[in-house]
Amino acid sequence: MKAVEALFPVFFVLFLGLLARKRQWITFAQNEGAKKLVFTILFPLLVYKVLVTSELKSTFLIQIIYMDIIWLIVLFIGFKLTSFTGKKFAHISPYLLVTCEGGNVALPLYISIVGAAHAVNIVTFDVAGILINFGVLPILVTKKVVGQVEWKELLKKIFTSSFMVSVIGGVFMNLTGLHKMIMDMGLESTFNSTMELVITPITGIILFTLGYELKFEKEMLSSLLRLAIVRLVLCSIIIGLFYVIFPALVSEKVFEIAILLYFMCPTGFPVPLQVQALVTCEDDESYMSAFISLFLVVALIAYTIITIFVA
């Protein structure tokens, strides 16, 4: 029942987005504007809020480094397997293999199982994903489109992006105790209510835009399924490696649930925005949206199995 309660709203909002496109209630430009609002302003604030209020464990940095190395290997494998996953979408498909959507899919599902006190387990994985999405991907996409990288300008763009500022700021304010000091001045209630107002629309807007772009064309179905198989295999290997490299962490049931759920979730929502420069037609947009939507179903199945047999 919890699975239905958690994910029925997800698919309902996806349906609203799909209906908005079919009925032409929302234009393509308006949908793109909504995505930019979320990923440029609202979502970075969510990342900051979670980082600044979570208890950062000693293994925080180690896990981030491990995950970033893993995602780079996955991306490399993705480029090597484009002949299997399909040539038509080979320019964008490898990028859909890296990162998972924690903040808007894994985190609410995870919290519904173990409680908000353990949210940092998902956040840690997401920080690694943010570094990939807003650090590595812009470099690779720029190199692909322009042919060369102006490192000074690119690094400036990366480190002044709202996401990177939110990550660096959140970790700094947390570890130095500045956030706690400010909250102890009687501002905690104001901070929480402000963040709640900002964060609440995020999931709905993102899911609406995904639904708007959702189209399952017959010609892309074979490629979608092949890419899904590759992602499932690679993510299963990542989970297995956690049992080998971090046995002490995995021995904690709440952490085990985190890795089992997180790596069955869709590609990080910022990925389509980051590879926008590589998009050549509406079919590319539909392909990315369909792949993410497909893994929302995978997340639902994983959540149900974990709730029944693990949690």
Instruction: State pLDDT tens for residues 180-237.
Output: 999 989 888 899 899 888 888 877 887 788 778 776 667 788 899 999 999 999 999 9
| CA distance readout (Å), 144 to 111, 118, 148, 278 | 39, 39, 8, 8
Q: DSSP readout, 134-162?
A: IIIHHHHHHHHHHSS--HHHHHHHHHTSH
pTM recorded for the entire structure: 0.77
**pLDDT at residue 1 in the model:** 58
Confidence of residue 247 (pLDDT cuts 50, 70, 90): very high
- The whole-number average pLDDT for the span 113-142 is 82
What does the mean pLDDT of the chain come to?
85
Whether the pLDDT of residue 124 is over 90: the answer is: no
Q: Kindly state the average pLDDT of the residues 118-138.
A: 83
Question: How much of the chain, in percent, has pLDDT values that exceed 70?
Answer: 94
Type of residue numbered 132? I
Instruction: Please give the Cα distance from 91 to 140 (Å, whole number).
Output: 12
Report CA torsion sign: 271, 276, 280, 285. Answer: positive
pLDDT of residue 311: 63
Task: Please give the pLDDT value at position 90.
Answer: 94
Amino acid (1-letter code) at residue 26: I
Q: State mean pLDDT over 131-139.
A: 84
Amino acid at 38: V
